[in-house]
Amino acid sequence: MALQLGDVAPDFTSESTEGTIHFYDYLGDGWGVLFSHPKDFTPVCTTELGEVARLKGEFDKRNTKVLGLSVDPIESHRSWVGDIKDATGNELNYPLLADPDRTVADLYGMIHPNANDTLTVRSVFVIGPDKKVKLTITYPASTGRNFQEILRVLDSLQLTSGYSVATPVNWTEGEDVIIVPAISDEDAKEKFPKGFRAVKPYLRYTPQPNR
C-alpha cells in the first residue's frame, strides 16, 4: 500500500553525493523534502536539480533538508553533477541519493510500474519533525515540478502545525488565513487578537497570526 498522509516516513541508509546518509539522523529535528527523479543525464531532471540548488537557501530558512533520489548509481550521479552546474549555473548543494537496488524507491512507492517498470516517477514527500508524511505529490516524467509550490506548501504546513488555521486557495506567506471551523467565534476572539471577518459562519479570515 502506498504511503499516505500521516504515515511514518520509513527510515533508511543510502549512498549519496554527500556520502552515506542515515535519513532520520540527517533530518534531525527539522523538516524534510525527499524527491525522486527518473534518470540522470536527462533534460527535465537537470533543470529540476539545478533549481532546487538555487532555492536551497529558501529551504534552509524553513529548517528543511532537501534530498533528491534516482535509481542511478553513485558514479553516474557524480559525473552528472558537473553538467547540472554547466547547464543551470547552480552547483548541487544537497545530497542526491543513489538507489540502484531500489531500496528507498520501493519503501516510498516511487516506481509506478504502469508508468515505467524501472525508473522512479517524480515523487515529492514532505516529512515533518515528527517523521510523519505531511504531503505527497506525484508528477509524470514528462512534467517538471514547480518547487516554488513546495516552498508555499511548507509555509502552510509549518503555519498550520502551530495555529488553529488553514490556508485558502493560492495562499502565500503574509496573506490572510482561515480560522478552522472547530474554533467557536468566542474562542476565535481570544486566539486571534487581530480580529477576524466572517464571510460565512464557517469561512472566517484573520491576519496571519505569526507575523
| Nearer to ligand BEZ (CB atom), residue 42 or residue 160 | 42
Task: Choose the binding region for ligand BEZ from 8-16, 37-45, 92-100, 131-139 (rule: CB under 6 A).
Answer: 37-45
What is the nearest approach in angstroms of ligand BEZ to the Cβ of residue 44? 3
From candidates 81, 141, 166, 183, binder to ligand BEZ by CB under 6 A: 141
Q: Which three cell numbers stand for residue 85?
A: 552546474
Q: Which one of 9, 45, 52, 92 is the catalytic residue? A: 45
What is the nearest approach in angstroms of ligand BEZ to the Cβ of residue 47? 8
Task: Choose the binding region for ligand BEZ from 21-29, 34-42, 181-189, 192-200 (rule: CB under 6 A).
Answer: 34-42
Binding mask 190-209 for ligand BEZ (x = CB under 6 A): --------------------
153 is an active site residue: no
- Whether the Cβ atoms of residue 82 and residue 53 lie closer than 8 Å to each other: no
| Nearer to ligand BEZ (CB atom), residue 66 or residue 84 | 84
Q: 39 to 68, contacts with ligand BEZ by CB under 6 A?
A: 39, 42-45
State how far Cα 124 lies from the chain centre. Answer: 6
Task: Choose the binding region for ligand BEZ from 38-46, 82-90, 93-101, 193-201 (rule: CB under 6 A).
Answer: 38-46
User: Which of 174, 175, 181 is closest to 199 using CA atoms?
Assistant: 181
Q: Is 180 in the site for ligand BEZ (CB under 6 A)?
A: no
What is the nearest approach in angstroms of ligand BEZ to the Cβ of residue 200? 44
Q: What is the 3-state secondary structure (H, E, C) of the chain?
A: CCCCCCCECCCCEEEECCCCEEHHHHHCCCEEEEEECCCCCCHHHHHHHHHHHHCHHHHHHCCEEEEEEECCCHHHHHHHHHHHHHHHCCCCCCCEEECCCCHHHHHCCCCCCCCCCCCCCEEEEEECCCCEEEEEEEECCCCCCCHHHHHHHHHHHHHHCCCCEECCCCCCCCCCEEECCCCCHHHHHHHCCCCCEEEECCEEEECCCCC
- Cβ-based neighbour number of residue 92 at 10 Å: 22
From candidates 14, 16, 23, 38, binder to ligand BEZ by CB under 6 A: 38
Q: What is the C-alpha to C-alpha distance for residues 141 and 43, in angstroms, rounded to an integer? A: 11
| Nearer to ligand BEZ (CB atom), residue 81 or residue 157 | 81
Looking at the annotation, which residues are catalytic?
45
List of residues contacting ligand BEZ (CB under 6 A): 38-39, 42-45, 141-142
